[in-house]
Structure 1
């Protein structure tokens, strides 16, 4: 019944699996979080089985969510699942395909605490020193210097680098902008040598390859599982706060919306000013200088340091990060 025309169907005449299948086929494939949506709906379908909409109640949904939490799922994750289920049900209702849908208790589950883990300069140096291959070191350096989201870094191309003005424009022409907007950030001096690539992408790998190599490097550097690519994003947020970077620069660096959204319409040319994100990029440069110092220190202690594999080539443990790019 995926492509069958439906109109104001009674809840007792249409099953949950059909609703989910129609939503995934006709709507979910057009949004960037389609894989997450598919996982959420598959979990719901596996749990509730072959039931019709009339049988699904808010209490059943909340009880299922509580079961997931007791099994170890974070409340924020369960809230996301509930949000995806709600979106699927709302979609068929708004299109007039079903007469009624059950209430989905999304607010019964907290959003969860934001990640608090930050990565130190010494930990970053260790990660860079053991990271293989070269594209992984490039990814780590871009993440450490920009705090950009993983997808934005993996999609970054040489055409998005404005060397003359010292800018990286993570925005992609023609890409539909979501709530997770992409910024235009300044290039710290230590990052510049890493931004040269002959390929269409600076990193040139997908999420799966990144995940595999990231976990191997993290283990080799003796870092915990709480160190993930977005840890650099949280770290820069913290550094900006500690160094009293102006709020306006923090909003611009992470492409956060302003309270007065009309302001963005009149300030688009600010990225071409010399003072654009000046305090923020100075903070990043100081942070990367600390990473360089830690790299030099660890290199000097490499012969007796169990963290650094003796099989690493000397060229993989430079005195300056810039020579790696």
Structure 2
């Protein structure tokens, strides 16, 4: 696994895969690849207090590393991994009441600014942590999340509009800045915001992760009637198929025309008084 991670060091997924391995390492680091099987995979799943999607991601990474090891002749053979079923449309988001409770317990200024950026721009955690002030245009009220020289991947970076609440928070942070980075602490860029989220989750009783904010903003937008095409642009999806898959059902008009067409205007199905 260490060699596999080193082989993908330049790829965008490297950081996330490193974090996954930190969580996996205690269970897997001394296991002979040949003895990996369904029972062992299920035993690992039982040790992880995470969603099925997270456990599936970790076990898929294990399988990928084992395949790489065989291809590169690092190991002679590998066992067969088991994966949890892929959860359909699993979208963890907060209600407005839950968000208020959570946000009230976010204490560090840089963490509070991160939360507002995450909610109001629906941007991915890495894009927010890498954001620099030169890409925040206060005059036109735009944020460009694409850094210079960024290699475009499937997770596209976008340009988003700054709303009133976020504008005020950014202006205050800009006055107090000590770094080129928007999310900073002690004059240095913040590499991970997870601890702040864990602490606020414990204090508020509302579980949230950095990615929860992206889903929350998208769900609120869908509930407000925003079209899937517009939401796809905001979220950096290449088209709205992914957006519709996850968020269309939250729209008040979702499948409304289908229901209306089925019902028609005939009173013949109406219940009698």
TM over 0.5: yes
Q: Partners in 1 of 2:236 and 2:202 — Cα distance?
A: 32
1:33 and 1:175, CA in 2 relative to 1: closer, same or farther beyond 3 A?
A: farther
1:186 Cα deviation from its structure 2 partner: 1.4
Max Rg structure:
1
TM-score by length of 1: 0.59
Query: Counterpart of 1:227 in 2: which secondary structure?
Result: coil
8 Å contact from structure 2 (residues 93, 219) kept in 1: no
Q: Report the secondary structure of 1:256's partner residue.
A: coil
Q: Secondary structure at the match of 2:165?
A: coil
RMSD: 3.2
SS of structure 1 residue aligned to 2:29 = helix
Give the superposition deviation at 1:254: 0.7
| 2:224 alignment counterpart | 243
1:141 equivalent in alignment to 2:116 = yes
Q: Does 1:76 align with 2:56?
A: no
Please state if 1:204 is matched with 2:175: no
Matched, 1:61 2:37: yes
Q: Is 1:119–1:232's contact at 8 Å kept on the other side of the alignment?
A: no
Does structure 2 retain, via aligned residues, the 8 Å contact 1:82–1:104? no
Report if aligned partners of 1:41, 1:84 keep a CA contact under 8 Å in 2.
no
Aligned to 2:7: 26
Instruction: Structure 1: give runs of 5+ residues left out of the alignment.
Output: 1-19, 261-325
Q: What's the counterpart of residue 316 of structure 1?
A: none
Provide the secondary structure at the position in 1 that maps to 2:209: coil
8 A contact 2:228–2:240 mirrored in 1? no
- The secondary structure found in structure 2 opposite 1:185 is strand
Tell me: CA distance 1:94–1:42, structure 2 relative to 1, closer, same or farther (3 Å): same
- Separation of aligned partners in 2, 1:215 and 1:24: 26
Which position in structure 2 is the counterpart of 1:170? 145
Map residues 269-308 of structure 1 onto 2, 5 A cutoff: none
Task: Mark the runs of 5 or more structure 2 residues left unpaired by the alignment.
Answer: 242-273
* Deviation per residue, 1:27-52 (Å, 9 max, x gap): 3575232423533663564352xx3x
Hey, what does 1:116 align to over in structure 2? 92
TM-score w.r.t. the length of structure 2 is 0.68
> Aligned pair count?
228
Q: Structure 1 257/94 Cα, relative in aligned 2: closer, same or farther at 3 Å?
A: farther
Partner of 1:87: 64
Instruction: Give the corresponding residue for 1:254.
Output: 235
Query: How far, CA to CA, are the matches of 1:99 and 1:145 in structure 2?
Result: 47
- The structural deviation recorded for 1:137 is 2.3
- 8 Å contact from structure 1 (residues 130, 217) kept in 2: yes
Distance 2:122 2:17 in 1: 24
- Contact 1:143–1:233 (8 Å) recurs in 2: yes
Confirm or deny: 8 A CA contact 1:28 1:37 kept in the other structure.
no
